[in-house]
């Protein structure tokens, strides 16, 4: 009963587990190779062991209610633990990617989520650091974690407790890691698939 209660709290009422898992599997169209962010290059220079492709790099994940619960728990844990703080305020420099303690910016938060999920058994190729551009008056660059599974690609974001499919966010997607090698970054295709069941205002457009 306790586990069921926790699961009910973790999942949004708009997306109960059975409905979430029943959504059509839809993957973003990926373009060609592109330059890795300078922050990733710097991070790998300092943490080479964290950037090597692993043997199970591209293993597919079959999303279950238990794994979905784990995503919500880790996403919430990191969002609650780390207070967003800019790199200039924290490190005195424009850009630095590192694992945060209690403060960090969006890239740091993504790195911690990626690390915790990997330690929980998720393959590295399912945990893709992704750069996006926010829309509207506060337009700016941002980083989120794309989590790939057989049910499609989900976005873990420090700006919301919700876990959304990639096409349900209001971001313009710029680049992300390749599923085969975390040091290879790829762009997003100019044309993206659109699910029939999602209203147009919630679909990703470039």
Burial bucket for residue 30 (CB in 10 Å: 0-12, 13-18, 19+) = middle
Entry field: residues in the chain: 206
- List the pLDDT tens digit at each of the 206 positions of the chain: 333 333 444 444 334 676 777 777 889 999 999 999 999 999 999 999 999 998 877 788 999 999 999 999 999 999 999 999 999 999 999 999 999 999 999 999 999 999 999 999 999 999 999 999 987 767 789 999 999 999 999 999 999 999 999 999 989 999 999 999 999 999 999 888 877 765 444 444 44
Give residue 133's pLDDT.
93
The C-alpha atoms of residue 70 and residue 36 are separated, in whole angstroms, by 29
Give residue 23's pLDDT.
75
- Interacting residues of 184 by C-beta distance below 8 A, sequence separation 6+: 33, 36, 177, 178
Give residue 202's pLDDT.
47
What's the Cα-to-Cα distance from 79 to each of 59, 73, 133, 150, rounded to whole Å? Answer: 27, 10, 20, 25
- Please, what are the domains in the chain? 22-202 (3.10.620)
Whether the CB-CB separation of 148 and 128 falls below 8 Å is answered with yes
């Amino acid at each position: 009963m306790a586990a069921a209660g926790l699961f009910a709290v973790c999942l949004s009422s708009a997306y109960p587990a059975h409905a979430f898992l029943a959504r059509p599997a839809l993957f973003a169209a990926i373009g060609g190779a592109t330059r890795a962010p300078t922050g990733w290059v710097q991070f790998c220079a300092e943490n080479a062991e964290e950037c090597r492709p692993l043997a199970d790099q591209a293993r597919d994940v079959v999303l279950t209610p238990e794994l979905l619960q784990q995503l919500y728990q880790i996403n919430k844990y990191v969002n609650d633990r780390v207070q967003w703080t800019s790199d200039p305020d924290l490190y005195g420099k424009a850009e630095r990617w590192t694992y945060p303690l209690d403060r960090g910016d969006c890239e740091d938060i993504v790195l911690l989520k990626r690390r915790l999920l990997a330690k929980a058994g998720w393959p590295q190729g399912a945990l893709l650091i992704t750069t996006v551009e926010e829309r509207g008056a506060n337009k700016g660059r941002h980083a989120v974690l794309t989590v790939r599974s057989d049910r499609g690609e989900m976005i873990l974001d420090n700006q919301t407790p919700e876990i959304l499919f990639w096409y349900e966010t209001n971001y313009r997607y710029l680049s992300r890691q390749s599923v085969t090698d975390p040091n290879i970054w790829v762009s997003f295709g100019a044309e993206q698939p659109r699910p029939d069941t999602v209203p147009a205002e919630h679909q990703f457009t470039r």
